[in-house]
Structure 1
Amino acid sequence: MPHQAGRTRWRRFAAILVTSISACAVLGIAMAQGALAASFFISGQTFKIAADTLTARGVSIYSMVDVTRKHELVPVVVTGTRHATISGLCQSVLVDIPVLGPQTLRITSGYERPATASNLFLDITSQSADEAQFKGLDIGVAQGAITKGPINPGDRNSRFFDPDGVGQQADSSTLTQVRWTTVALSSSTFNLPDLRLQLKPGNHECF
């Protein structure tokens, strides 16, 4: 009986682990090959992304509502950029595994060479930065009139996208020591040099 119980716990752990690794692979690895669709159901779980520096060309910021597979609605702010250069990138998701407790799946890149992305979209619930610099900034532009930065095609065709809503755009921006809490990330291309993926017991999130 103890042997059977041990196998049951291991199977449960393996199922949760595979699910979490698959989710992170979609966000951090398959994404690098342009594998993500323009729109998708979100899991609803937040994950954290941090960067020492993010330099972006063609910036858009607009409101949106994401949807889970259970049809739960999650309001977010979408930050889009046509091209981004990211130094010191860290991405983490905290998973609570029965018996073993919390485990952190953590991805890092861009510490020796910067990561780069095109048509990058972050669906965030919070953001902070030590410093933010914008060039060619427009605040209050209608979301349907944003031209300097991209709009995710899946968002533009969504019933939750308000073309008359308040948006923001800029020719470029530079953020230092930036931190995002986000529910989704997508990109048409994402180059992640010196990629490192680790599963650590306990809480070892990026911030």
Structure 2
Amino acid sequence: MTDSPEPAAGRVRWKRFAAIAAPAAVGAGALVFMTAQGSIASSFAVSGSSFKVSADSLTGTGFVQYGGVDASKDGAKHPVQISGIKSAQIRNMCQSVKVGPFTLRLTAGTGAKPVEATDLVLDVEQLNADAKFTGIEIGRDASTLDKGPSGAQGTAGMFGQQASKIELTNVRQVAWATTAGTFKLSDLSMKLGDECF
């Protein structure tokens, strides 16, 4: 009996690709749709994978920030910095997530109209950006934060900060979860590609 020949390097096994990518694309599409409709609760078990988000700029009003912990369904804990923004505009947004050997990439706000979000809450593991805050309060008890989305408060005694306005440029973040009351994605494109950064 002879061994079957090895497949040529660089070839895609389309059945295997479809088996991996189709559920991810459907799930990501459903997540985007439900987030845009405001039907996702602010507390849920996160997936076992973080995702990357980049943007040329994010401007918003009603900003709060405090610490928290996201939990995966398997019980793993992920320390995060929770950032809440009442109203935000995002330009040239990219979101990418690894799905097995592939990367699912979503872009929006690449044209004249920015991405628009209300009651935006980001559970961030890492953030790099240039930042400008207006009317900032640093060191406020997280349970008393009142400038952000409704309910965006931390535990009593925990460090918190808030500002009337936030301006971020050259944004690069790794996050575990994002929720919003509304999420309007202009020029939306979702396809396989490279990571955002």
Pick the TM interval, shorter chain: 0.7 to 0.9
Distance in 2, matches of 1:29 and 1:107, equals 13
TM normalised by structure 1 equals 0.83
Distance in 2, matches of 1:33 and 1:166, equals 32
The residue type equivalent to 1:176 in the other structure is: T
Which residue number in structure 2 is paired with residue 69 of structure 1?
73
Deviates further, 17-26 or 136-145: 17-26
Aligned residue for 1:76, secondary structure, equals: strand
Which residue number in structure 2 is paired with residue 6 of structure 1?
none
Q: 2:190 aligns with which of 197, 201, 205?
A: 197
Distance in 2, matches of 1:24 and 1:179, equals 20
Question: CA 1:48–1:81 in structure 2 vs 1: closer, same or farther (change >3 Å)?
Answer: same
The residue type equivalent to 1:45 in the other structure is: S
Which residue number in structure 1 is paired with residue 38 of structure 2?
34
Distance in 1, matches of 2:36 and 2:72, equals 23
Distance in 1, matches of 2:30 and 2:160, equals 28
Distance in 2, matches of 1:192 and 1:76, equals 25
> Cα distance, 1:11 vs. partner?
6.2
Which residue number in structure 1 is paired with residue 138 of structure 2?
139
| Residues 60 and 151 in structure 1, CA contact (< 8 A), matched pair in contact too | no
> Cα distance, 1:104 vs. partner?
1.1
The residue type equivalent to 1:78 in the other structure is: I
Deviates further, 17-26 or 106-115: 17-26
Q: What is the aligned residue count?
A: 185
Question: CA 1:143–1:22 in structure 2 vs 1: closer, same or farther (change >3 Å)?
Answer: farther
Which residue number in structure 1 is paired with residue 123 of structure 2?
123
Aligned residue for 1:163, secondary structure, equals: coil
Distance in 2, matches of 1:145 and 1:28, equals 31
Which residue number in structure 1 is paired with residue 109 of structure 2?
110
> Cα distance, 1:18 vs. partner?
3.4
Distance in 2, matches of 1:53 and 1:18, equals 31
The residue type equivalent to 1:81 in the other structure is: I
Which residue number in structure 1 is paired with residue 176 of structure 2?
183
Aligned residue for 1:16, secondary structure, equals: helix
Unaligned runs of 5+ in 2: 5-12
Which residue number in structure 1 is paired with residue 147 of structure 2?
148
Question: CA 1:68–1:184 in structure 2 vs 1: closer, same or farther (change >3 Å)?
Answer: same
Distance in 1, matches of 2:151 and 2:99, equals 28
Distance in 1, matches of 2:30 and 2:55, equals 19
Question: CA 1:52–1:12 in structure 2 vs 1: closer, same or farther (change >3 Å)?
Answer: same
| Residues 85 and 115 in structure 1, CA contact (< 8 A), matched pair in contact too | yes
Unaligned runs of 5+ in 1: 3-8, 97-101
Aligned residue for 1:162, secondary structure, equals: coil
Q: Which has the higher helix share?
A: 1
